[in-house]
Amino acid sequence: MGSYANHISTVQSRFDEALQATGFDSVLIYSGQSQIAFLDDNPYPFRVNPLFKYWLPVTESPKSFIFYKAGCKPVVYLYKAKDFWHAPVNIAPAEWQDHMELKVVDNLAQVRSDVGDELTKTAYLGEQFEPMTSWQLGQVNPKALIDHLHYQRSEKTEWELENLRKANDLAAQAHVAARDAFYAGASEIEIQHAYLSAINFREQEVPYNSIIALNEHSAILHYDVYDRSAPSESRSFLIDAGALYNGYCADITRTYAAQKSGFYQELVEAMDKAEQAIIEAIRPGVSYYDLHVRMHHMVATILVDFGFFKISPEEVYERGYTNAFFPHGLGHYIGLQVHDVGGFLKSAQGDAYERDGRHPFLRLLRNVEPGQVFTIEPGLYVVDQLLEEFDGNDDFNWARIAELRPYGGVRIEDSVHVTNDGVENITRDAFAKVSKF
């Protein structure tokens, strides 16, 4: 069997297990549909239900359904409207059609009629629109079923890994184009255009708004404003941007110094070295939380080595200072979603880890296991809002911190696949294909 056939077999087995555990006979998954902007007649960009694209690589077919009854062949209802206003849905021959029964419909009532009385014993997964609100569904988005499916999704199939590698290949290609645009003196919006052009993407086709941050903008963690004019001096460039392939996400961050030597370039190199060191420490059975804490200790060492503090690295961490410079988590699961699901689940039954008070923004608390794919993305920034509570504290070297402020900060991010004895760095492998980093 090919990788997709194996993937479908795994997905069916996972759904069979989840349905049996939660008392449902079947599941109806809605692909979703675009919502209309308030007081307008234009829709927002369509984003497919991740549980729909879990089954098949169809990401641009709103108002479609998958009906799956445990142990049976799934039925795909692809919606193809009789509509002269819009381009018709293109249903090209594809491998997924060998594993599912395909029915093309032009009216959602056809789905309701076809599934019939089965709906009363069916779990519905998706947003509800008319006419589904009157369909007398068994249960809408039951938490127990969703928790079970989300827990299982942390282990990726080989087909999913292939798609993640291809998504990273695309993103790495675009990252190189963006880097070159930065060194050529481009503005933030021009860098964004270079990124999209390199892979021939529309802006709505990337998995999240690209972060294209020059100079002090690098300290804004989710900066996506894009200045139209280049600054008088470009000192630094942080790019956090991804790509999609068959619905699977790449999420990559790189930071560059305009000057290839000096304080900021050395800081970028130190963070890159630390990021790779923490990746080398990843093994099955290791706690992701422990990796996060270890990264904080490494950031504390960098802060002291670069003169930001007058005390030891141990004291920097113990006094809580690293949180002001590295406020976000070390990373997160990635797959069908950028921030993929299940990071807090202890079991398929929905038992969950509590968020840690010291590190509340960490999105992943489970132990590392083979088959998982997650990001590693340490950062170090001058965020004035977070430094306010320490104003006047003599442990800090405020003059040195002021030197970093015009550069914003540094973040490096790779996606890694956990194997039985280590990791595959999907992102670094992708960059190796397009550029020598």
Per-residue confidence (pLDDT) for residue 1, from 0 to 100: 64
Average pLDDT over residues 249-277: 97
Does residue 371 come out as left (phi exceeding 0), alpha (psi in the -120 to 50 range) or beta? left
Per-residue confidence (pLDDT) for residue 88, from 0 to 100: 79
pLDDT in tens, 185-239: 999 999 999 999 999 999 999 999 999 999 999 999 999 999 999 999 999 999 9
- In 3D, which of 64, 61, 75, 90 has the Cα closest to residue 27? 75
The type of residue at 8 is: I
Q: Please, which pLDDT band fits residue 90 given cuts at 50, 70 and 90?
A: confident
Average pLDDT over residues 14-38: 96
Task: Say how far apart CA 307 and CA 394 lie, in whole Å.
Answer: 13
Q: State the DSSP H helix or E strand holding residue 238, giving kind and residue range, or none if neither.
A: strand 236-245
Instruction: Please check if 421 is assigned to a binding site.
Output: no
Determine which of 82-96, 145-159, 388-402 has the lowest per-residue pLDDT on average. Answer: 82-96
- 119-to-26, 32, 140, 144 alpha-carbon distances in Å: 8, 18, 11, 18
Given a contact cutoff of 8 angstroms between Cβ atoms, the answer to whether 167 and 247 are in contact is no
The type of residue at 323 is: N
Q: For tokens 């490096």, what's the residue?
A: 412
Instruction: Write the burial class of residue 113 (CB in 10 Å: 0-12 exposed, 13-18 middle, 19+ buried).
Output: exposed
Task: Say how far apart CA 74 and CA 37 lie, in whole Å.
Answer: 34
- In 3D, which of 375, 368, 295 has the Cα closest to residue 340? 375
Instruction: Please check if 332 is assigned to a binding site.
Output: yes
C-alpha triplet 84, 86, 89: angle, nearest 5°: 105
Per-residue confidence (pLDDT) for residue 140, from 0 to 100: 95
Q: Please, which pLDDT band fits residue 436 given cuts at 50, 70 and 90?
A: low
Strand, helix or coil at 255?
strand
- In 3D, which of 220, 223, 229, 218 has the Cα closest to residue 189? 229
pLDDT in tens, 266-305: 999 999 999 999 999 999 999 999 999 999 999 999 999 9
Given a contact cutoff of 8 angstroms between Cβ atoms, the answer to whether 416 and 426 are in contact is yes
Report the chain's mean pLDDT, rounded to a whole number.
Answer: 96
Q: Per the structure block, which two tokens stand in for 311?
A: 């005390």
Instruction: Please check if 413 is assigned to a binding site.
Output: yes
Average pLDDT over residues 141-160: 98
Q: State the DSSP H helix or E strand holding residue 162, giving kind and residue range, or none if neither.
A: helix 158-183
Given a contact cutoff of 8 angstroms between Cβ atoms, the answer to whether 148 and 17 are in contact is yes
Instruction: Please check if 339 is assigned to a binding site.
Output: no
Residues in the chain: 437
Instruction: Please check if 240 is assigned to a binding site.
Output: yes
Task: Say how far apart CA 421 and CA 284 lie, in whole Å.
Answer: 7
Domains in the chain, ordered, with CATH? Answer: 3-153 (3.40.350.10), 158-435 (3.90.230.10)
Q: For tokens 């990124």, what's the residue?
A: 195
Per-residue confidence (pLDDT) for residue 258, from 0 to 100: 98
Distance linking the first and last C-alpha atoms of the chain: 37
Starting at the edge strand found earlier in the chain, the sheet holding 101-105 runs: 101-105, 75-79, 65-69, 26-30, 122-125, 139-140
